[in-house]
Structure 1
């Protein structure tokens, strides 16, 4: 039985293309062209006069010795990654000075000695700041032209070498400036990424603080209440234990949502939680007024701030009564009749202030001898924005 023909791609052709559709060798060539060692290939132009006039043994030995000695000096000057890390000025001046010396010392020898002048100019283009590089290039060019004129270098070689040196030097300057811009852009991108990661960590930390601080306080208070009621009122103790279980489950869900950046709450939800938590702590709560019309972000921010304020009342105030009042002008006022006194701002209060101020609102805390009053105010919803009630 004849088998169906199968077409297997040739290994060479399969590996010749990169993922973006371009041949892989183009990437290797590009990487090679960005290496300073790549430009040593232009030393071959020194030997172009040999096609028209064969050198003697002495000239050939001198030429090979000059080229061979220049290569390590050039590589030393460009050690590392000069386009990204820069090069040390003393290395540049050493290599450029040696190249200029060779461009003049080799004039009596058969070869295009002006080729070394081109290398000298491109090396000086690596000096920083750019003004220093331009002055050094201009000075080296003037010196080369004057010395070549005095040493009877042909006009053609002198002008050609100087023209190529200027073009190559300006291209090198542009390359350094482009590399500097790329390096700055990459550094800015890294900083932006680090700041974004830091902001995300702060957001998660603040959300977890708001979520866990309130819930764990509620669970602790309800656990103490259930323990006291276990013998006296088993039915109510059971109810408190069920509420503890439900609170733990809801908090677990909220923690997952907060880590994913999707945690949303409302003032109405936080009012219900406040009633339950304050009742378990045997603190009487009175609520006056109705929540204002706010967009979803403002509702969530005000709800989390309310949660933090209620948590602080349960933990620190020692109050017997608490009041939550929605003022007609849109402010939310939370106050208690606890111990008051001097307040020390912590993570919770700082987080509340940041949340409120991020939406253009204000937070004021007044500590009295008979309690603390927290006033939270947010700007009203803009006409173009829908309130949470309208959305639902």
Structure 2
């Protein structure tokens, strides 16, 4: 049975069949949103027969009780975290079987069951098998009750048509969910990559800056006795480099802003010259490297 197979699938996923979703989660669902409140309007067809036939109070009370049970089954499909399809869809079919002998409008329950089935079962083959079962149940009961042609049509044929049409929309919803999930994964990976890139950038900025500060500090220490003026200049440059490093870190946090090859060459040139290495760069012929 397709419904039983889907129950097993839900059990493997570990979903709780009686855990309610929050109201905001239900109305903000990107697949259905508010539409379940609109679809339930079709339940009104269930009351056409008792209105037209001026049925007794007893039948009215039974019809109201049946409609109440249906509403619990119907909204449970949307309000529960992991609704049990066999209970909700099967319950609608059972309501149709119980009420069809006293109310021809009970065909509505067969129609709702077929309409919801494609959205509740992920495999189209299982969904069509479930639709066929609903149609057969409606046809057999209609024939046993000797219902007229139109009532038999709405009990067996029309539910199959509605259900078959909804398989297209159900498949579209599933594809949209997969697409949203893929987009969310891409966004997550992009954020992870961005964080890693900023971390690497911070490492590069601080690593280079600390190397320069270390060299200049060592040089200032050596010049302290021999050339105090030069040592003071080196210490002043250490202060400037520290401020620049702080600015670079802030820029990296806001987002990487490449300063280009010339800026990197200038930093390398400054570091090497601080260490006493004479630097010649071919780029200096066309551009001015500080």
Name the structure 2 match of 1:122.
115
Mapped partners of 2:115, 2:233: distance in 1 = 84
User: Which of 215, 222, 227 is matched with 1:221 structurally?
Assistant: 215
Distance 1:263 1:252, change over 3 A: farther
Name the structure 2 match of 1:305.
none
Contact in 2 for aligned 1:204/1:259 (Cα 8 Å): yes
Larger-Rg structure:
1
1:265 and 2:257 equivalent?
A: no
Contact in 1 for aligned 2:117/2:131 (Cα 8 Å): yes
Contact in 1 for aligned 2:107/2:151 (Cα 8 Å): yes
Contact in 2 for aligned 1:77/1:95 (Cα 8 Å): yes
Hey, which of these two has a bigger chunk of helix by percent? 2
- Count of residue pairs the alignment pairs up: 258
Name the structure 2 match of 1:316.
none
Deviations 1:120-174 (A, max 9, x none): 2123222222221111111221232133112211111111343432343234433
Mapped partners of 2:266, 2:56: distance in 1 = 102
Mapped partners of 2:67, 2:157: distance in 1 = 22
Contact in 1 for aligned 2:138/2:155 (Cα 8 Å): no
Mapped partners of 1:242, 1:95: distance in 2 = 78
What is the Cα deviation at residue 100 of structure 1? Answer: 2.2
| 3-state SS in 2 of match to 1:263 | coil
Gaps of 5+ in 1: 1-26, 292-387
Contact in 2 for aligned 1:103/1:116 (Cα 8 Å): yes
| 3-state SS in 1 of match to 2:105 | coil
Distance 1:117 1:290, change over 3 A: same
User: Which of 238, 249, 257 is matched with 1:255 structurally?
Assistant: 249
The Cα RMSD (Å) is 3.3
Deviations 1:179-206 (A, max 9, x none): 3233223222322222222222222222
Gaps of 5+ in 2: 1-26
User: Which of 95, 107, 111 is matched with 1:102 structurally?
Assistant: 95
What is the Cα deviation at residue 231 of structure 1? Answer: 1.3
Distance 1:201 1:144, change over 3 A: same
Mapped partners of 1:115, 1:163: distance in 2 = 12
Contact in 1 for aligned 2:220/2:232 (Cα 8 Å): yes
- TM-score when normalising by structure 2: 0.74
Name the structure 2 match of 1:301.
none
Residues 74-89 of structure 1 correspond to what in structure 2 (within 5 A)? 74-80=74-80, 87-88=82-83
What is the Cα deviation at residue 116 of structure 1? Answer: 1.6
Mapped partners of 1:64, 1:31: distance in 2 = 30
